[in-house]
Chains A and B, each alone.
Chain A
Amino acid sequence: AQKITQTQPGMFVQEKEAVTLDCTYDTSDPSYGLFWYKQPSSGEMIFLIYQGSYDQQNATEGRYSLNFQKARKSANLVISASQLGDSAMYFCAMRGGRLTGGGNKLTFGTGTQLKVEL
């Protein structure tokens, strides 16, 4: 079975500051992928960043970077230079491999509500 844990139900950050959203995962699959999505109040799930379990380097996409620590089974999202438009719910998700039958679906955490303040 696969599990994603997001322990921060809510986070506040000041505009232009960096913020880290925590995500830990559990899987017995050696091959898996980790995703972060942003969900504004409109409901759409917006893809932010992806990290493969065999990727040697941490993923980066613009102001987003993923702090991947495989031994600790953590995949924290770092948002640099926060903007007011970053206020949203953020979900960490995992797609597992054939071993756990998770290869074709995402397992999501419960999300972190981020509020960016002036």
Chain B
Amino acid sequence: DTGVSQDPRHKITKRGQNVTFRCDPISEHNRLYWYRQTLGQGPEFLTYFQNEAQLEKSRLLSDRFSAERPKGSFSTLEIQRTEQGDSAMYLCASSSIGGVGSGNTIYFGEGSWLTVV
């Protein structure tokens, strides 16, 4: 399978615990994105990397959230001291570098569902 893969697919955790999600992008893609999607809504942008550099972070990404992409390949998204409001699906996506008009498609993974109880 050469698509974007995410792990774990489902995570149930107690409030206050830390969780980490992993994303493996499509191998030749330089850009990697994290989105969050709550029930009944479209995905919302959290952050993106170009190679190993984190170039943009949304205001949605509070101090309890941290994302890394240490070698410009896979990425992790950690949520510390989880709260019930963090319950959502966390989607990872990747694309190659290109301008807006280039049509560089952003490909998504299957998402990681987080439930905080």
- In the complex, what residues of A have CB within 8 A of residue B99's CB? 31, 103
Is the C-beta of A50 less than 8 angstroms from some C-beta in chain B? yes
Task: Say yes or no: A105-B45 contact (C-beta < 8 A), given A44-B108, A44-B109, A45-B108.
Answer: yes
The digit string for A74-118, where 1 denotes a CB below 8 A from any CB of B, is 000000000000000001010111000001111111110000000
Q: Are A105 and B107 in contact (CB under 8 A)?
A: no
- In the complex, what residues of B have CB within 8 A of residue A54's CB? 101
Task: Say yes or no: A32-B45 contact (C-beta < 8 A), given A43-B113, A44-B111.
Answer: no
Is the C-beta of A42 less than 8 angstroms from some C-beta in chain B? yes
Q: Are A93 and B56 in contact (CB under 8 A)?
A: no
Q: When chains A and B are docked, how far (Å) is the Cα of A107 from the Cα of B88?
A: 18
Instruction: Considering the complex, give the chain A residue whose CB is closest to the CB of B55.
Output: A104
- In the complex, what residues of B have CB within 8 A of residue A31's CB? 99-101
Q: When chains A and B are docked, how far (Å) is the Cα of A44 from the Cα of B108?
A: 7
Provide the main secondary structure of the chain A interface: loop
Task: Say yes or no: A53-B105 contact (C-beta < 8 A), given A91-B42, A104-B55.
Answer: no
Instruction: Considering the complex, give the chain B residue whose CB is closest to the CB of A94.
Output: B100
A26-68 contacts to B, CB under 8 A, are: 29, 31-33, 35, 37, 42-47, 50, 52-54
- In the complex, what residues of A have CB within 8 A of residue B45's CB? 105-107
Selected contact of A95 from candidates B40, B42, B100, CB within 8 Å = B100
Instruction: Considering the complex, give the chain B residue whose CB is closest to the CB of A95.
Output: B100
Q: When chains A and B are docked, how far (Å) is the Cα of A52 from the Cα of B18?
A: 41
Q: When chains A and B are docked, how far (Å) is the Cα of A46 from the Cα of B110?
A: 9
Selected contact of A32 from candidates B100, B107, B109, CB within 8 Å = B100
Q: What residues make up the interface of A, taking CB atoms closer than 8 Å to B? A: 4, 29, 31-33, 35, 37, 42-47, 50, 52-54, 91, 93, 95-97, 103-111
